[in-house]
Chains A and B, each alone.
Chain A
Amino acid sequence: MKKYLTLFHINWQNSLQYRFSLVIYIAGYSLYIWVLLYLWSTVYHEGNTVGNYTLSQLTTYYLLQLMINSVIFSYISWDVIDNIKDGHFSNFLIKPLDYFLYWFTVNLSGKILEAFFVIIAAGLISLLFGGYFAFPGRLITFLYFLISVILGIVLAFEMDFCVGMITFWLTQVRTFKYMLQTLILFFAGAMLPLDLFPGLLMKISNILPFQYLVFFPISLYLGKVDNPWPSFIMLSVWILIFYVIARILLIRGIRRYEAVGA
Chain B
Amino acid sequence: MRPSVHRIFHNIMRYLKLYRVFLFQNLKEDMIYRSNFMTLVIMDIWSVGISVILFKIIYSHVNTIAGWTFDQSLILIGSVGIIREMAYLTFRRGFLELGSHIRTGTFDLFMTRPIAPNLHLAFRHVSLSESFGEAVMGGALVVYGLMRLHHWNWISIFLYVVFLLNSLLIYYGFSLLMNSVVFWVIKSQELNTIVYFFMETSRYPGDIFRGVGKIIFTFIIPIGIIATVPASILTGRIGWGFAVTALIVGSVFLSAGLWVWKRSIGHYSSASG
Contacts and interface: CB of A to CB of B under 8 A. Distances in A.
B46 A31 contact: no
Contacts of B64: 46
A196 interface: yes
Contacts of A35: 201, 204, 208, 217, 223
Contact of A198 (B60, B66, B201, B208): B60
A32 B65 contact: no
Given A186-B50, A192-B57, A196-B57, A38 B39 contact: no
Interface residues of A, number: 35
Contacts of A24: 190-191, 193-194
A229 interface: no
B34 to A, nearest CB: 14
A38 B190 contact: no
Contacts of B223: 35
Contacts of A20: 187-188, 190
A21 interface: yes
A209 to B, nearest CB: 19
B214 to A, nearest CB: 9
B62 A48 contact: yes
B83 to A, nearest CB: 17
Contacts of A124: none
A94 interface: no
Contacts of B61: 43, 48, 50-51, 196
Contact of B210 (A36, A38, A172): A38
A136 to B, nearest CB: 25
Contacts of A186: 50, 53-54
Given A28-B193, A38-B208, A42-B66, A172 B39 contact: yes
Interface of A: 20-21, 24-25, 27-29, 31-32, 34-36, 38-39, 41-43, 46, 48, 50-51, 128, 172, 175, 178-179, 182-183, 186, 191-192, 196-198, 201
Contact of B50 (A25, A29, A39, A182): A182
14 contacts: A21-B193, A24-B194, A34-B213, A35-B204, A35-B217, A38-B209, A39-B65, A42-B66, A175-B39, A179-B43, A186-B50, A196-B58, A196-B61, A201-B57
Interface of B: 39, 42-43, 46-47, 50, 53-54, 57-58, 60-62, 64-66, 187-188, 190-191, 193-194, 196-198, 200-201, 204, 207-210, 212-213, 217, 221, 223
**Chain B residues touching A, majority SS:** helix
A43 B61 CA distance: 10
Contacts of A41: 208, 210
B194 A31 contact: yes
A197 B65 contact: no
Given A175-B42, A186-B50, 5 more contacts: A31-B201, A35-B208, A38-B204, A39-B65, A175-B43
A43 B57 contact: no
A117 B126 CA distance: 36
A172 B42 CA distance: 13
A59 to B, nearest CB: 14
Given A21-B190, A175-B39, A198-B57, A39 B197 contact: no
Nearest to B54: A191
Nearest to B47: A182
Nearest to A20: B187
A27 B196 CA distance: 12
Across chains A and B, which 8 residue pairs bring their CB atoms closest together, nearest first? A28-B197, A21-B190, A42-B208, A35-B201, A24-B190, A50-B61, A38-B208, A48-B62
Contacts of A172: 39
A41 B204 CA distance: 13
Contacts of A183: 50
A192 B190 contact: no
Contact of A28 (B43, B66, B187, B194): B194
Nearest to B221: A31
A179 B46 contact: yes
A191 B54 CA distance: 8
Nearest to B202: A35
A259 to B, nearest CB: 24
Contacts of B62: 43, 46, 48, 50
Contacts of A32: 197, 200-201
A100 to B, nearest CB: 29
Nearest to A183: B50
B189 to A, nearest CB: 9
B43 A25 contact: no
Nearest to A197: B57
A181 B202 CA distance: 21
B179 to A, nearest CB: 13
B54 A192 contact: yes
Contacts of B42: 175, 179
Contacts of B188: 20
Contacts of B204: 35-36, 38-39
